[in-house]
Structures are given as structure tokens and as C-alpha cells.
Structure 1
Amino acid sequence: MSLFLLALHAVAVLLVVLLVVLLVALLGFCVYLKYVHMKYDHIPGPPRESFFFGHSLTMLRTMEKGGNLHDLLLEWAEAYGSVYRINALHSVLVCTTSPEATKEVLMSPKYPKDLYLHKRLFSLFGQRFLGNGLVTARDHDQWYKQRRIMDPAFSSLYLRSLMGTFNERAEVLTSKLSEVADRRAEANMLQVVNHVTLDVITKVAFGVDLELLENTSLFPKAIEACLRGMVHNVRNVAFQLYPKNWAFVKEVREACKLLRSTGAQWIHNRKVAMESGADVPKDILTQIIKAASKEESMTKEDQEVMLDNFVTFFIAGQETTANQLAFCIMELARHPDILDKAKEEVDDVIGMKRDISYDDLGKLVYLSQVLKETLRLYPTAPGTSRDLPNDIIIDGVHVPAGAGIVFSSYMCGRMAKFFKDPLEFNPERFHPDAPKPYYCYFPFSLGPRSCLGMNFAQMEAKVVMAKILQRFDFTLTPDQSFDILDVGTLRPKGGVVCSIRHRKDRA
């Protein structure tokens, strides 16, 4: 009996000690949170909903309702000015629409990528995702080495050589749309252009033919799972703790594994071809392998970085361009006068030609304006962030070091202080003679960390749009939604469902 009482007493003591430790830890965390609040609360911002969670609950509710988080950020920017604060647990994010701050931070290499975002994109729910690839690498020297090696795959000379593939894949698209038009049916344009852009990136970047408009593949579903997992992993750190989410978490992990195992196989196949002396294209896959060959010895981490860049280009090279094309089709269908003007230019430049040349792209000036205006309203990669290693003054507001700083092309693009009638779709804003936006338009980011594939993406978008405009009339279905789906990238929630018809003057 006495032994039982002694054991019971020991357990009670242990529980008391644990309770005291937890209380001390909680008190310490509260003191630290109060310190963080005192350090940054001079910066304007919306009232915190919770001492512990800050604004996190407000943002999570927006997501759970299917809302666009960037609209909430825009609402706060309009209410609190060009620099405002967001509290998320113990972290502070400073959002700014100041052109001067945008120029200062994004154009300089001394502001590293946001550490929090790096951690949340490095892996998804414990499975490595983007790792230390070009998008996520924080160390400038490590990033610069990768970027320098990748540059040849995006040179002007190499991009010119891709026109044949752009034309070929766009022709497959027009054949599919012709079948839809023959049936006088409807097409989900987001789905259609998604397949085309994924076909293009796998062919020109990795030398693989998927032909998704003709065949089925696991890749679209895997990419979709990764993107959805990405947004939950970034915005809700407790997402994987809830049992109701475990099935989805498993799906995301499996999707990451599929992409990385596919990359490993494709890299191996290309290595074998290169070692045997076969002719190989100077594409992204070749550059990834050349990057590795410059290492004296390949470590496991070097191998993983190769796969990081494979996944980065595989997803980034497809998703954002597809979304831009879908938004562009949506806005053209909503504005018949702009659509007619774009068609007229395509008729003048391309005529009835089957293949569009590189020189033709430079003559499609108005179509370029349309695509740029699409990205003003719908920047498919809506923003970027950096860490502040030192104090900074933004529009007279002192921002102490240690915070993350967020720049949003979406916010800036929809503010009247930068663009007159900002919600109006008006390609004339980007007329060659119009004044250029001053550090308030950056759909591909700015400075040394700007998107390496920007020219690639816009060439592809131009070829696809020109062929669609050359051959088809399209009208939105009456019940079409114009809402934006926020999955980290932005895409049309309704899919842009259109009735497709052959051009009346081309039938």
C-alpha cells in the first residue's frame, strides 16, 4: 500500500512539475508576444482579433469561405495606408505598396527571401517540395550559382528555337477547339490551356511528350494537389494536425513524391544520353545536369537540389501561364470592342498563316498590351516577400529589423492611386507611348530575383492567344463566374466556360 501511495505521490509531483513548466513556458511566450507587439505596434494595421493568434483567424476564415486573401490585404491597404502590419502568432509581416520601398528592397540582393516562406515551401507536410531551388534559395551565392547556370536555357537565341514547339502545341489546341466548334459545344478554357502549357513545359524544358489533350496523365492532378497543399501549408501551420485533413495531407505527400521520382527518372535518362554522346537540347533539363557536373563530387543534397529545380520549373512553368491565358480569354469575352481590336491586329500580322514566327510576336503590340493588362488585374503569382535584416523607413514609418516585408502586385494593380479606374480592363494603359508604371506593377517580381522564365511565358502566351484569336469566336456562358480562386497562385474560379465557334469570316 505504501509503495502505491509513493508511486501516486511521485506521479502527482511529476504532474505539478509539468504544469509549472507549462505555465512558465506560457508566461514566457506571453512576455515575448508582448515584446513583439510593443516593437511593431507603432506601425498602422487592423486591430488584432486575438492576443495569441493576431490576424491569423481573420485570414483563415477568409480562406475557409473560399475568399481571395489578397482582396482582404487590399482592403487593409486602402484603410491603413502604404505600410501596415499583420500579426501571425509570434511573426510580424509588414505589407507595403510604397513604390520607393518596392524599388529599394526588390532591386537589391541584400534582402533575403522570407525565411518563413522558405521553410513552408521547402517541404509540404514533411515531404520535400521546392527545397533550395531557384525560387526558394535564401543564400545569394547559392542562388546566383544556380541562376547563372540556368541562364542559357532562357537566352534569346534558345527561346527563338522554341517557336516550332510553341506552334506545334498550339496547333493541337486549335484542333481540339475545332472539334468543340464543330459540335457547337462549350469548353472549359482553363482546363484546355492548362493541358497545353503543361505539354509545352514538359516538351521544351524536359524533352518529354505528354500530349495531354489526347491522353490522360497523373501530372495535372499531382500539380493541383501540390498547389492546394502549398497554400494550406503556408497559411495554416496547424493544418496537418487535424484528422479530417490527413487524407489530403497524404495525397499531397504522394504528389510531391511523384514529381520528384519522375524528375529523378528523366534526369537519369538524359544523363545516359549525354554520356553516350547523343545530341541533346540545351533545355532546362540539360542545364540542371550541367549544374551538377560542375561539382567535384555530388552529395545527396546536390542531387536533391537538381530535383528542387525540376519541380520548380515543372510547376511554375505551367500553372501561371495557364491562369494568365484563362483570365485573358475571360476579359476579352467580356469586352467585345477589345476582342475585335485584338483580332484585327492578329489578322493584319498573322493572316491565315499556320505558323507564327518570332518576328511576328514583336508586331503583336496590342496583344502584348492585353496580356500585360491581364496581369495587372490578375497577377497569377500575386506577390513576393523578403526578410528585413536591418531597420528601414517606409514613407516615414520606422520598420524595425526582423519582420517579413510583403509586396503585392495584386494590391498595387487595383489601387486608384496608381491606376485610374483600376477595376476597368483597359489595355491602353500599356500603350508604348503611355507612361510606365513606377514600381507598382511587378507580376514577375523585380530585380535580381525576378522570374527567369518571364520571356518564355509571354512568348508562349502570345502564340496560344494569337492562334485562338485567329480561328475562333468565343462567348462566355450566361452563368459564368468572375470570381478569383486563391490557391497561392490566382486562377478563374469558374474555369472560363465558353461557347466556341469558328470565326465567321474564316469558316
Structure 2
Amino acid sequence: MPFFCRNINLYPEFLFKLSPSGKEFFKLCDFVHEFSEDIISKRKEDLKENGDAEKRQLDFLDILLTARDESGKGLTDEEIRTEVDTFMFAGHDTTSSVLSWSIYSLGKHKDIQDKVYEEVKRVIGDKQYVDCEDISKMKYLSCFLKEVMRHHTPVPVISRMLDEPCVIEGVELPKGSFIDMAIHHAHHHPDVWEDPWEFKPERFVGDKHHDMDPDSFTPFSAGPRNYIGQAFAQNEEKVLIARLVNRFEISVDPDHEVEHFIEVVMRAKNGIMASFKERT
């Protein structure tokens, strides 16, 4: 996939399919689709055999299979598979990216790490776990993670196909056009963000960002194809960072240069060198 992104001559799909990377890419896509379809098929059978879905604790896939709109129409098999693919596979690398850059940001900004630690300690105390009530109380941690996703955008570029023609800045774009949107650059636009290259979780404190255009901060994309698992991902990240900070003091190697490397997800070109010292 990174090969595809960096080779403009392979953007037409029929050309990409003929390349060695394209053949491997679509082979892996078929494998992923078959894996998801097998899970969906087995769950459908399970729902049929075990009766009324309302009497059981529904998980993500159950909700997709039983969802109906106002007219009683459910999702198609392809729509369900697409959402399952997104939830199962898109969430892995993105969460890993956010956690990696969170560790880097905590180690690089000791004052911010201290604020996160103080809040976590105040909320969970000496407990060895984080419960649902704790998550909603950790306001500064939430701001910190938002700033991580702004400053080190986990998915820096997304693509969309136009369902209808539109005009952007005087340029006419026909229906069916593929549009690349540079979210990472939008997250650093000086017309939108004050001191865009500074790492400041405080920019998300209170209602400061509520007056902004909602599309100015889109780490999970936007519209009908935004990431369906974003609430789960954010809670997962909060729990992991809270437990990590509560147990360890984090530092990074000041002599190791960290540079953004834009692929499908945001990575560190030469990795991140971090150390963890257990708190006493």
C-alpha cells in the first residue's frame, strides 16, 4: 500500500493491478474479505439458531446485522463486510500509531506528563484498573490525546470518491473523481490553529474548540465513512495511557531525532527511543 501511495503512475487501478505490488495488494484484500465474510456468515447462523437478538447482549457485529432504518431496510452484505473490515483491521495500526506518538509526547514534554499523571492519580488513586466512570473524569488526558491526534495525525491522508460533481476554489470536479484530503496538513493550518506546530493540549480545554468548524479536526475522518469504532478506540487509548503513566515515568532519548514518515498511518521514520522508570 505505501508503494501505491508514493507512485503516481500507478494511481489508475487497472495499472496498479498489473504491478507486482498491486497483485500482492489485491490478493491480501481478497484474503481479508474472505476472513470477514466467514465471520459474518457464522454470526448470521448463530443469530438464526439462538432466536431473538433482543434477548442477548449485542456486540458490534450483532448491531450491524440487526440494524434497520425508518423503512425497515437493513445493511447489505457488502456494507456489513466493509464496516467489519474497517473495525477489525483499520483500528489496529491507527491505535498503535496514537499510542506510540502519545508515549513520545509524554516523554518529550515533561510538564504535560506531570499534568496527566496528577489527574490520573487523582481519579484512580491506588487502583490497578480504570473503570468506565474514571474515563469520563480524566478531562486533561482527553485533551492530551486529541492534541496527539492533531499534531501526529494517525491517518494523515484519506481518499474519497465524489458521488456528485462539485466546485472547490473555482475548480470543477466531475462525479466519480477521487479526492485526496491531507488531514495532517489541515491539522496544522495557521488560519485554523493558533501556533499549529506547538504541542498544546490546552487548546482543547473547555469550549475553546467548539466554535471551530467541526471539519477542522478530523482524526477519524468525517461524514458517513468516518471510523465507526472511534469511541471504542478513544476509550482504549485513555485506559492504556492512564495505566502506563500511573505506573511509569516516561522519557525519550534527546539525541535521537524523531521525524514524521507519512504512510497509510503516521510513523516515526527512525523509530521512537523511549525509556520507562517505575514510579515508587
Going from structure 1 to structure 2, the CA distance change for 1:282 and 1:416 (only over 3 Å counts) comes to: same
| Structure 1 Cα separation of the partners of residues 2 and 173 of structure 2 | 32
One-letter code of the match for 2:185? Answer: M
One-letter code of the match for 1:276? Answer: E
Going from structure 1 to structure 2, the CA distance change for 1:235 and 1:287 (only over 3 Å counts) comes to: farther
Which is greater in Rg?
A: 1
Going from structure 1 to structure 2, the CA distance change for 1:433 and 1:307 (only over 3 Å counts) comes to: closer
Q: CA deviation at 1:390?
A: 4.5
| Structure 2 Cα separation of the partners of residues 266 and 471 of structure 1 | 37
| Structure 1 Cα separation of the partners of residues 7 and 63 of structure 2 | 30
Higher relative contact order (CA 8 A, sep 6+): 1
Equivalence for 1:224: none
Equivalence for 2:235: 459
Q: CA deviation at 1:429?
A: 0.8
Report whether the alignment pairs 1:325 with 2:80.
no
Equivalence for 1:389: 164
Matched position secondary structure for 1:475: strand
C-alpha contact 1:379 1:490 (8 A) present in aligned 2: yes
Please give the TM-score of this superposition, normalised by the length of structure 1. Answer: 0.47
Equivalent residue for 2:170, pick from 385, 393, 398: 398
Report whether the alignment pairs 1:271 with 2:44.
yes
Matched position secondary structure for 2:277: strand
Q: Identify which range, 275-284 or 370-379, moves more after superposition.
A: 275-284
Equivalence for 2:140: 366
Matched position secondary structure for 1:500: strand
Going from structure 1 to structure 2, the CA distance change for 1:427 and 1:470 (only over 3 Å counts) comes to: same
| Structure 2 Cα separation of the partners of residues 451 and 336 of structure 1 | 31
Going from structure 1 to structure 2, the CA distance change for 1:267 and 1:360 (only over 3 Å counts) comes to: same
Report whether the alignment pairs 1:476 with 2:252.
yes
C-alpha contact 1:388 1:404 (8 A) present in aligned 2: no
Report whether the alignment pairs 1:341 with 2:119.
no
Equivalence for 2:127: 353
Q: CA deviation at 1:352?
A: 1.6
Q: CA deviation at 1:235?
A: 7.4
| Structure 2 Cα separation of the partners of residues 473 and 260 of structure 1 | 42
C-alpha contact 1:378 1:490 (8 A) present in aligned 2: yes
C-alpha contact 2:87 2:228 (8 A) present in aligned 1: no
Q: CA deviation at 1:383?
A: 4.4
Equivalence for 1:31: none
Cα deviation, 1:356-384, whole Å, max 9, x if unaligned, reads 12121111111111111111112212344
| Structure 1 Cα separation of the partners of residues 42 and 271 of structure 2 | 36
C-alpha contact 1:369 1:431 (8 A) present in aligned 2: yes
Equivalence for 1:488: 264
Equivalence for 2:204: 430
Q: CA deviation at 1:422?
A: 1.5
Cα deviation, 1:156-198, whole Å, max 9, x if unaligned, reads xxxxxxxxxxxxxxxxxxxxxxxxxxxxxxxxxxxxxxxxxxx
Going from structure 1 to structure 2, the CA distance change for 1:332 and 1:437 (only over 3 Å counts) comes to: farther
| Structure 2 Cα separation of the partners of residues 390 and 267 of structure 1 | 35
Equivalence for 1:316: 90
Matches within 5 A, 1:9-408: 227-228=1-2, 231=5, 236-237=10-11, 238-242=15-19, 246=20, 248-277=21-50, 281-290=57-66, 302-384=76-158, 385=160, 387=162, 389-390=164-165, 392=167, 397-402=169-174, 406-408=180-182
| Structure 2 Cα separation of the partners of residues 235 and 344 of structure 1 | 52
| Structure 2 Cα separation of the partners of residues 455 and 497 of structure 1 | 29
Q: Identify which range, 468-477 or 449-458, moves more after superposition.
A: 449-458
Cα deviation, 1:98-156, whole Å, max 9, x if unaligned, reads xxxxxxxxxxxxxxxxxxxxxxxxxxxxxxxxxxxxxxxxxxxxxxxxxxxxxxxxxxx
C-alpha contact 2:157 2:182 (8 A) present in aligned 1: yes
Matched position secondary structure for 2:250: strand
Q: How many residues align?
A: 266
Q: Identify which range, 326-335 or 414-423, moves more after superposition.
A: 414-423
Matched position secondary structure for 2:170: strand
Q: CA deviation at 1:315?
A: 1.6
One-letter code of the match for 2:39? Answer: W
Q: CA deviation at 1:486?
A: 1.9
C-alpha contact 2:188 2:196 (8 A) present in aligned 1: yes
Unaligned residue ranges in structure 2 (runs of 5+)? none
Matched position secondary structure for 2:276: strand
One-letter code of the match for 2:243? Answer: K
One-letter code of the match for 2:192? Answer: F
| Structure 1 Cα separation of the partners of residues 133 and 179 of structure 2 | 40
Going from structure 1 to structure 2, the CA distance change for 1:239 and 1:446 (only over 3 Å counts) comes to: closer
Going from structure 1 to structure 2, the CA distance change for 1:311 and 1:231 (only over 3 Å counts) comes to: farther
C-alpha contact 1:476 1:497 (8 A) present in aligned 2: yes
Matched position secondary structure for 1:400: strand
Going from structure 1 to structure 2, the CA distance change for 1:250 and 1:240 (only over 3 Å counts) comes to: closer
CA RMSD of aligned residues (A): 3.2
Going from structure 1 to structure 2, the CA distance change for 1:362 and 1:291 (only over 3 Å counts) comes to: closer
| Structure 2 Cα separation of the partners of residues 456 and 234 of structure 1 | 35
| Structure 1 Cα separation of the partners of residues 112 and 106 of structure 2 | 6
Q: CA deviation at 1:232?
A: 5.9
| Structure 2 Cα separation of the partners of residues 386 and 255 of structure 1 | 22
C-alpha contact 2:86 2:227 (8 A) present in aligned 1: no
Q: CA deviation at 1:266?
A: 2.3
| Structure 1 Cα separation of the partners of residues 50 and 146 of structure 2 | 42
